[in-house]
Each structure stands twice: as structure tokens, then as C-alpha cells.
Amino acid sequence: MNGLWLLAPFLLVRFGPLLSREAAARAARFAPMEGGERAAYWVYQLSTGALFLCLPFLRVGPAPALPFWAGLACYLSGLALCAASIAAFSAPSDGGLRTGGVYRLSRNPMYVSYFLCFAGMALLTRSAVLFGVVLVFQISGHWIILAEERWCAETFGEDYRWYSERVRRYL
């Protein structure tokens, strides 16, 4: 199977539930960036493009059992977490701060889901290059998360500080 087919469920889960204009606008918005965060933003965008460009040239096929099942587990858990994250993110909330659903377990469940899903794709295609791109994607994503968390602290004040003291950044 061509690796490109791995993107179809991901894109459907990632963008399908964002049917309201408000949710789509919030999902497309990045927090204001400072200094090195701007460079990280562009590395993040380029690594996203590289993920999408690599997959058509890769194949999912017979593999040793452990990498295949580990890849499938990562991929499917990433899709499930992404769906739960999008559902929680899309639901309206008073004041705008999302703290329910999977946001009770992680301040950034969407980013965690992307990493799991993309790492699963790298394992399923057995591609060291794709795994390297996933690592660059995740490291640059961390800088974007720092910008988002600074914006949340400025926007939501004490509510966000209380939330961030009780809920981990990732898992």
C-alpha cells in the first residue's frame, strides 16, 4: 500500500469535525511568535510539507512483526487522540480556555496526537528519513507550543496558570 493512504484518515479526522467557522478559525490561528519561535514556525511548516511529500514515495508492506504492530498502535492511537482533541477543541466553552475532555490530561493533546500519528507512519513505512522529519516536526512544534502557552497565560491569566500547574504540557 502506498504511504499516501495513511494521510487520508489523518486529514479526515483532523479537518472533518471543524465544520463551524469559529472552530476552523481558531484551529488556523497561531499564537504571536517572538525571536526564534518565528524560525521554528517556518521549520514546522516545512517539516509538515516534507511529511506530506515523503509519503507518496513510501510503502506500507510486510515487515517484521514488532515495527509493524508498534507503528499501527502509534498510528491508530494518534488518530483516536486527534479525534478526541478536535472534538474537545471544537466544542464551545465559556471564556475560550479548553480544559475539558482530553485537555484534562494534556495541555497540548493535538500536538501529541500528531506526533503519535506521524511516528506511526514512519514505523509503518520503515523510513528513517520520515522518522527524522517527524523529529524535526516535533522539536519545532515544541517552540510553537511555548508561544501558545505564553499567549494563553497573557489571555487567560490566573485561570491558565492554575490549569498549567495541574495539567502536563504533553502527557
Task: Establish how many alpha carbons lie within 13 A of residue 73's alpha carbon, considering only the half-sphere containing its beta carbon.
Answer: 6
Spell out the per-residue pLDDT of the chain, length 171, in tens. 999 999 999 999 988 766 567 766 666 678 888 888 999 999 999 999 999 999 999 999 877 888 899 999 999 999 999 999 988 887 767 777 888 899 999 999 999 999 999 999 999 999 999 999 999 999 999 999 999 999 999 999 999 999 999 999 998
pLDDT for position 62: 75
pLDDT for position 94: 75
Alpha carbon separation from 103 to 64, 89, 107, 169 (Å, rounded): 35, 9, 5, 10
pLDDT for position 16: 77
